[in-house]
Chain A
């Protein structure tokens, strides 16, 4: 049973210049998806639609079979999804624990520890954490929020190769061990290799790449 579905979704910032054209597809929990595509192809736009940050020009996005617009996009954002950005994921005046507690429905500390943060690191000023550690906190927040979907927009874009690999592994674990539906937008082939399903955007169309 798919948790998120795209039904004939089209999107255009300006009239006549469609970024996405008649895109359909479905996403399931327990899987990590990679969305590949060159810069400007519409990856972030697609993620915005999935995350309820914007509404499609045409078509609809369904969560659990229901149009996300039905209960309001805010409801969708608050309860169904967690967003992870390339950077600036964290509130700088909150410690890692507090950042996780911001939306937590689950206990923050064990999740942070499970993601490899030391006891002293989780109460430190977040700006004193490395990029990789910051992304771990962001993922921990996503996991603690208990939302079934994690949407990540180039989460490893700012990280070195080794750290990127670790973060990718954690995202994968989130899908497999925590049962989340993880959608990672990336242009990194390394990340895509770890994904269960790889989708590609080409000229406004979404295609599943055979592996």
Chain B
């Protein structure tokens, strides 16, 4: 008779024991599987949180330490009213980021966006602007902000959803003399895609935009996700509807001088804030960027605060899982040891007919595994039923006992500033709790862990069998 047949006969004929063992294994498996699924869910929630928060760092000219910073006095200005002269300086870095640098940084794995802007405050000929809520210097009336970028699609205002391109196309690195304006501004001025805006380049002599004419063609129209709220103070040139995006070439021409050939600051968004250190290190290792000129500022605090309670939960779940596994193995080993002791006569008969001890222990193992296969299968349903509730409960607990007191961490995280204009807020995934569900991957893990527990428990319980000497068979059996 084969070892499998013997095991099968035992399991099917000793129904009481089989049912009891089935129940024990079902409970253990439910615990393990629930733990595994919560673990997976908490890992997923952490990943989700990281990806939704993203990570950001800024790279900019190190104004205080860079050897490339130049400070030049500009023509003294005489205040018309007071008659006082005030001297001002022009400070700039001779080393700036180029579009090539931006492309290289974008190529670093883990970098989502890399954007940079030049900005100019200038008047466009005949362009009627939306008035702001606070008045500005008479000099700046009719001025608006023109942002010179390599690529509007990567600009923070677009990547964060603060602005959406409603019509036309984005500005790309290859474009020259193009612009994107707001749909509102276009309507106000009866402009459409293909029309031109005219401005003049800055003249240092005249201290004004009186230089050669520059024409930019409108290639796209954007709509803002939200305009500033009622009562919020904003200048005319800061009003989002008055914003003009242009290509880098046009921006340089507006500027007039030779000084600003690139960007003095970059804004980098990464996929996973956990990767921050690596990405920053890789960016710093890129060729073609002179790091004497620049410095990096990382802001990962938002992520770290938001991730703390989830990390606590994760630790808790892992600890719990280890405890469950160890306790299960001990309980199972004790029960099996007890049962093996009641099987002395059976062992005696087997040994007397020449069945090896290893084959006897093997039979016990197969018996438990046969029951376990079914119990583990059923635990898929039982643990699915309870996993969701336990998961949410644990999350609540860990939120309350997390390292951040008072302030609700989630709300802190949610108020993260996204985009320079601070118009958009993204909801965090944890606000809806953790979604726990038992997957087939968890079931596979359970079978691995469960079988390991069973092998340990059966080995421990088989000491009784190993100790029995054949010569004791006759004396013990009679």
Structural contact, A88 and B345, CB atoms closer than 8 A: yes
Residues from chain B with Cβ under 8 Å of A10 in the complex: none
Structural contact, A102 and B353, CB atoms closer than 8 A: yes
Structural contact, A88 and B470, CB atoms closer than 8 A: no
Residue in contact with B474 in the complex, picked from A48, A75, A94, CB distance below 8 Å: A48
Structural contact, A77 and B9, CB atoms closer than 8 A: no
A-B contact sample (20 more), CB < 8 A, given A54-B469, A101-B1:
A44-B475, A47-B474, A52-B470, A54-B470, A75-B354, A77-B351, A77-B352, A83-B353, A83-B474, A85-B352, A85-B478, A87-B477, A87-B478, A91-B350, A92-B346, A93-B10, A98-B9, A103-B353, A145-B353, A153-B474
A82: CB under 8 A from chain B? yes
B348: CB under 8 A from chain A? yes
Query: A94: nearest residue on chain B (CB-CB)?
Result: B9
Structural contact, B349 and A90, CB atoms closer than 8 A: yes
A87, B345: Cα distance in complex, Å: 10
Residue in contact with B477 in the complex, picked from A73, A86, A98, A145, CB distance below 8 Å: A86
Query: A74: nearest residue on chain B (CB-CB)?
Result: B354
Residues from chain A with Cβ under 8 Å of B474 in the complex: 44, 47-48, 51, 53, 83, 85, 153
Query: A142: nearest residue on chain B (CB-CB)?
Result: B353
> Beta-carbon contacts of B434-478 to A below 8 Å, as 1s and 0s?
000000000000000000000000000000000001110111011
A86, B478: Cα distance in complex, Å: 6
Residues from chain B with Cβ under 8 Å of A41 in the complex: none
Residues from chain B with Cβ under 8 Å of A90 in the complex: 349
Structural contact, A88 and B356, CB atoms closer than 8 A: no
Which chain A residues (83-121) contact chain B, with CB distance < 8 Å?
A: 83, 85-94, 98, 101-104
A154: CB under 8 A from chain B? yes
A75, B356: Cα distance in complex, Å: 10
A87, B348: Cα distance in complex, Å: 12
* Interchain nearest-CB distance for A114 vs B (Å): 20
B14: CB under 8 A from chain A? yes
Number of A-B contacts (CB under 8 A): 77
Count B interface residues, CB 8 Å. Answer: 25
* Interchain nearest-CB distance for A57 vs B (Å): 12
A102, B356: Cα distance in complex, Å: 13
A47, B470: Cα distance in complex, Å: 12
A92, B10: Cα distance in complex, Å: 9
Which chain B residues (1-48) contact chain A, with CB distance < 8 Å?
A: 1, 6, 9-10, 13-14
A44, B475: Cα distance in complex, Å: 8
Also in contact, A73 and B470, with CB within 8 A (given A88-B348, A103-B353): yes
29 inter-chain pairs at a CB distance below 8 angstroms, sorted by A residue, are A44-B474, A52-B470, A54-B469, A54-B470, A73-B470, A74-B354, A77-B354, A78-B354, A83-B474, A85-B474, A86-B477, A88-B349, A88-B477, A89-B349, A91-B346, A93-B13, A94-B9, A94-B13, A98-B1, A102-B1, A102-B349, A103-B1, A103-B354, A104-B1, A141-B353, A145-B353, A153-B478, A154-B478, A157-B478
Structural contact, A77 and B349, CB atoms closer than 8 A: no
Query: A100: nearest residue on chain B (CB-CB)?
Result: B1
A79: CB under 8 A from chain B? yes
* Interchain nearest-CB distance for B478 vs A (Å): 5
Structural contact, B13 and A54, CB atoms closer than 8 A: no
Residues from chain B with Cβ under 8 Å of A153 in the complex: 474, 478
Count A interface residues, CB 8 Å. Answer: 35
Which chain B residues (254-293) contact chain A, with CB distance < 8 Å?
A: none
Which chain B residues (372-395) contact chain A, with CB distance < 8 Å?
A: none
* Interchain nearest-CB distance for A186 vs B (Å): 12
A86, B352: Cα distance in complex, Å: 14
> Beta-carbon contacts of B72-115 to A below 8 Å, as 1s and 0s?
00000000000000000000000000000000000000000000
Residue in contact with A93 in the complex, picked from B14, B348, B350, CB distance below 8 Å: B14
Residue in contact with A53 in the complex, picked from B1, B14, B473, CB distance below 8 Å: B473
* Interchain nearest-CB distance for B466 vs A (Å): 15
Residues from chain B with Cβ under 8 Å of A94 in the complex: 9, 13
A129, B346: Cα distance in complex, Å: 17
A51, B353: Cα distance in complex, Å: 10
* Interchain nearest-CB distance for B409 vs A (Å): 59
Residue in contact with A91 in the complex, picked from B349, B351, B469, B471, CB distance below 8 Å: B349
Residues from chain B with Cβ under 8 Å of A92 in the complex: 346
Structural contact, B477 and A79, CB atoms closer than 8 A: no
Residues from chain A with Cβ under 8 Å of B345 in the complex: 88
Structural contact, A83 and B352, CB atoms closer than 8 A: yes
A141, B354: Cα distance in complex, Å: 13
Also in contact, A79 and B1, with CB within 8 A (given A88-B349, A93-B14): no
Residues from chain B with Cβ under 8 Å of A102 in the complex: 1, 6, 349, 353
Which chain B residues (336-360) contact chain A, with CB distance < 8 Å?
A: 345-346, 348-356
> Which of A77, A104, A157 has its CB near the most chain B CB atoms (within 10 A)?
A77
